[in-house]
Structure 1
Amino acid sequence: MTQLQSAVVLITGAAGGFGQELTRQLLQKGSRLILTDRPEVDLRSQASQLQATLGRSPGEIIDCLSADLANSAGCEELYRQTQALNLPIDVLINNAGIAILGHMVDIPPERWEQLMEINLMAPMRLSTRFAADMVARRRGHIVNISSLAGWIAMPGLTAYAASKFGLRGFSEGLRHEVAPHEIKVTTVCPCFSRTPMLQCDRFGLWNQIDKTVPIPFTTDPARVMTRTVRAIERNQSEVFPDAIASSGRLAKCYLPALPDWISRQIGLSRQSG
């Protein structure tokens, strides 16, 4: 079991939908949080408002840090800032991520390259840095927020899926490497959740359709993060925190023709549109 009471937890992408839920729930668990997000985000103000809505909680926010994780220098700067706090990180949650929607041929290369930097390279860089410290202490937990898109690549989400497939593979390999040192790695694979990411930038034909994802195909971020926190406590290797993600994963494993057929139909509908 991973004890979250008094644990020092670093959360990237703390201003987003999942990040706010993680902050709220971990404060109630008694964790000591270090929050980080992009420099243009007023994270400190947001964190203060969140604490005000919670009232008294057993946890605390130690600091709010700004970091641009779209390049190696930003990841290194975040590591340096946490080191300056002189507090060993017990749990690293790589939650920061972005999405774009469109066929690869319609997306400017710099946009999908930025997505790969934030969604895949940043978690790899940070995990490698903090894992070394955790191995030295023989204690720690790394949590990577992947996606059902790390199992099923749908048309229009090719770049996003590539980043999440990569993150799932990295997490699996890292899990085996650090297990002898008592370090845990949890991969979280949710489906679409009702967060601002649903309003991501769209390109080509995908920019011409309704941007509203039907409610039955989305999940409540609070419930998703409740199951995620429970999975962290239980040291689960991989968790599908909602029914859609769980069903999708089973279909991919045991009925692979079904998600492939659905993907083809989506692709054909976009072409005809």
Structure 2
Amino acid sequence: MKETPKEKKIGVTTVSLKQSCFNKNWILQLNRPEQFKHFICLICKQVANYPIEIHCQEHKGIGGSFLVGESCLKQFLDANPNSCPIQPHTNCIYYRSDVISQHIDESEVTCPLQFQQDLQQKNEGLTCNFKGKIKELDNHLNDVCALKMLDCWYKQFGCDHSCHKNKLHYHLCLEVKFHFDLVVTFVETLQTSGDVQTLLQQLEKKRSRVMILWNYSSSVYYFFFFIQIIIINKCCSHTDIIFAINREFIINLNGLRTNLVPFVGFVRRLNVIRKELSSKRTTSVKESKLRKNNNN
């Protein structure tokens, strides 16, 4: 396969190779069909995403526009190496079309998640009224859209819950004890010394201090959360304590979105610890095997 030198992409949004072409019915909600009749992917028949033009000598006499979406072309070439989606031949020549890409990026669309929800006729109690350019979708879906599904912060510890962005804080508040138990289970996997046994006893005592206080006759809901973790790293030869967290959270549910921010850092630090432990354990095993081989 030969690909001509790539020009600088004009569109603002960087499109992933894994992203499929745009649903034609979604695009045509706010646009006229004639605006996109020359931008249809010849493989999937949808509006080409990150459009690529094919310019092979073998089919120059054939009329029409030879446009494909990058993801569709990649899938085709993976399944048909050294071929062409227009006619069977080798040495397919193609390049990205920045002019067409810019035109598509500037097109007005609605929220794609709202479009999917409407197609599935789901009534989630949430709607998204976004109307903007395709190049603005990345920021909208990642930072603003209320229909975006988010994984729980404790997913890596075993919580498989996912929900809409505006319901995540409620889940974190409601499942404090469950998440605390996940952290305890994580620490139990590090059980390699008597020091960890002491740690687990401390965590069991702290478990009784985890409280969620609901007062349905009042407009103020709050809970008190306190956790202390000391993780012992047996793999370190010069120090036993590699990490200590001692933090108290007093959270008013009315200010939950602001006050739960420190929770994010807490979970991230635990994930860093887990990765460090895994890396050091691997190193320790390798060193042990090396010493054994040297002794032999």
| TM-score range relative to shorter protein | under 0.3
Q: Which has the higher contact order (CA 8 A, sep 6+)?
A: 1
TM-score, normalisation: structure 1: 0.23
Higher helix share goes to which structure? 1
